[in-house]
């Protein structure tokens, strides 16, 4: 059966552990598995800006022995020149997998429905599940292994309604984490995603909570995470999106109330002085460069795993 990774909970807890273990194995040996030798092509498509995701997927596909076929979203005009379904049918006849960054989650769902090959979410308005796989692998690295993830408390502060918040909820709950989202009034996570995450957490021994202050989220947390206050596509709201988030900035005072050995995550790009201060981002608790590196290892692990299921 063709498996896809459209949202974080497309992997069961056991499957997520398998992928994370493989991500750590790829960190030790970049060529430990090469499922795309042939080479088989993987289409990597971007409808929004990208740096890490483009570099990590194209490098990753090449390291897996395949051919990374970069498709420029502006040229392909998926859903404009041709329907998503027809695009999926064409791609599925030629490539081993499709990796797509786009806007509405429904576009990705439609691609998966018609492609006949694995489809991977490289970020949508709703989720950024590849990033959270990398984040979980990073936490595992710094906490002594994948087996140590369950029970960790992860505090995410900032925009509770964005793709990172949603993916921390679902992916974190799947890993058995205690996920606390600290966000101002007016920016709550999607209610359906929150309910799904709560149901998963009940089975994994984790928990999810949405709180209205940075202190409630961060106090005692093992992992402190944040993201830009203005996601791609929201540039027109930049001014309105500043004031409400200022009390949620990750600074030295925030870190002082976290666990003494807390680590700091940021998916990048980071805006120093906005959602995080330079001393924290560039300081000793920050593991953001490991996190950026893990995009490569985690996505190679994910692609390897997905291709093995088909």
Annotated active-site positions, please?
A: 101, 128, 131, 227, 267, 295
* Residue 231 interacting with ligand NVA (CB under 6 A): yes
Among 58, 87, 174, 228, binds ligand NVA (CB under 6 A): 228
121 binds ligand NVA (CB under 6 A): no
Nearer to ligand NVA, 76 or 232 (CB): 232
The CB-nearest residue to ligand NVA is 231
Nearer to ligand NVA, 176 or 182 (CB): 182
**How does strand 41-46 pair with strand 67-72?**
parallel
Residues 145-184 that bind ligand NVA (CB under 6 A): 162-164
Annotated binding residue 164: no
Helix and strand counts by DSSP (H, E) for the chain: 12, 9
Q: Which of 62, 136, 131 is nearest to 101 (CA)?
A: 131
163 marked as part of a ligand binding site: yes
The whole-angstrom separation of Cα 222 and Cα 156 is: 11
Q: Please list, in sequence order, all residues whose beta carbon lies within 8 angstroms of the beta carbon of residue 195, skipping any fewer than 6 positions away.
A: none
In this complex, which beta carbon is closest to ligand NVA, that of residue 50 or of residue 207? Answer: 50
The distance in angstroms from the start CA to the end CA of the chain is: 5
- How big is the site for ligand NVA, counted in residues (CB under 6 A)? 9
**Binding-residue pattern over the window 259 to 278 for ligand NVA, x denoting contact by CB under 6 A:** --------x-----------
How far is 147 from 249, CA to CA, in rounded Å? 31
Q: Shortest gap between Cβ of 110 and ligand NVA (angstroms)?
A: 20
Is 77 marked as a binding-site residue?
A: yes
- Select the residue interacting with ligand NVA from 63, 110, 196, 227 (CB under 6 A): 227
56 near ligand NVA, judged by CB under 6 A: no
Helix or strand holding residue 192 (H, E):
helix 191-204
Tell me: is residue 227 an annotated ligand-binding position. Answer: yes
Q: What 3-state DSSP class applies to 286?
A: strand
Residue placing its CB nearer to ligand NVA in the complex, 299 or 304: 299
Q: Is the dihedral of CA 190, 195, 201, 203 positive or negative?
A: negative
213 is in an annotated binding site: no
Residue 74 neighbours by CB under 8 Å, 6+ apart: none
How far apart (Å, rounded) are the C-alpha atoms in residues 238 and 226? Answer: 17
**Interacting span for ligand NVA (CB under 6 A) from 58-66, 187-195, 212-220, 226-234:** 226-234
Tell me the closest approach of the beta carbon of residue 232 to ligand NVA, in angstroms: 4
Q: Judged by CB under 6 A, does residue 232 bind ligand NVA?
A: yes
| Dihedral-angle region of residue 67 (phi above 0 means left; psi in -120 to 50 means alpha; beta otherwise) | beta
Q: Which residues pair with 119 in a beta bridge?
A: 98
The one-character DSSP state at 188 is P
- What lies within 8 Å, CB to CB, of 233 at 6+ separation is 48, 103, 125
> Near ligand NVA by CB under 6 A, which window of 14-22, 139-147, 190-198, 225-233?
225-233
Annotation-wise, does 167 bind a ligand?
no
- Residue 193 touching ligand NVA (CB under 6 A): no
Q: Which residues are annotated as a binding site for L-ornithine?
A: 163, 227, 231-232
**Contact set with ligand NVA (CB under 6 A):** 128, 162-164, 227-228, 231-232, 267
Q: Which residues are annotated as a binding site for carbamoyl phosphate?
A: 77, 101, 128-131, 267-268, 295
């Amino acid at each position: 059966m063709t498996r896809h990774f459209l949202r974080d909970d497309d992997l069961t807890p056991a499957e997520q552990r398998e992928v994370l273990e493989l991500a750590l194995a790829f960190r030790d040996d970049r060529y430990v598995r090469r499922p795309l030798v042939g080479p088989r092509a993987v289409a990597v498509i971007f409808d929004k800006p990208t740096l890490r995701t483009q570099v990590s997927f194209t490098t990753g596909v090449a390291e897996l022995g395949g051919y990374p076929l970069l498709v420029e979203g502006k040229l392909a005009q998926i859903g404009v020149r041709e329907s998503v379904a027809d695009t999926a049918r064409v791609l599925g006849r030629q490539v081993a997998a499709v990796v797509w960054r786009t806007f509405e989650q429904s576009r990705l769902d439609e691609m998966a429905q018609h492609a006949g090959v694995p489809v991977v979410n490289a970020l949508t308005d709703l989720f950024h599940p590849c990033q959270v796989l990398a984040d979980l692998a990073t936490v595992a690295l710094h906490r002594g292994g994948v087996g140590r993830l369950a029970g960790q408390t992860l505090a995410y502060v900032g925009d509770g309604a964005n793709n990172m918040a949603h993916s921390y909820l679902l992916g974190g709950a799947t890993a058995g984490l205690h996920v606390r989202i600290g966000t101002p009034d007016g920016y709550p996570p999607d209610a359906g995603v929150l309910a799904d995450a709560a149901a998963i957490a009940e089975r994994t021994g984790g928990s999810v909570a949405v709180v209205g202050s940075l202190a409630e989220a961060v106090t005692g947390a093992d992992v402190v995470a944040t993201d830009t206050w203005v996601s791609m596509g929201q540039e027109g709201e930049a001014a309105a999106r500043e004031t409400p988030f200022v009390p949620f900035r990750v600074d030295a005072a925030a870190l002082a109330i976290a666990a003494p050995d807390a680590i700091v995550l940021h998916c990048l790009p980071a805006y120093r002085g906005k959602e995080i201060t330079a001393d924290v981002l560039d300081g000793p608790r920050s593991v953001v460069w490991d996190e950026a590196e893990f995009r490569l290892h985690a996505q190679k692990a994910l692609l390897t795993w997905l291709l093995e299921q088909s």
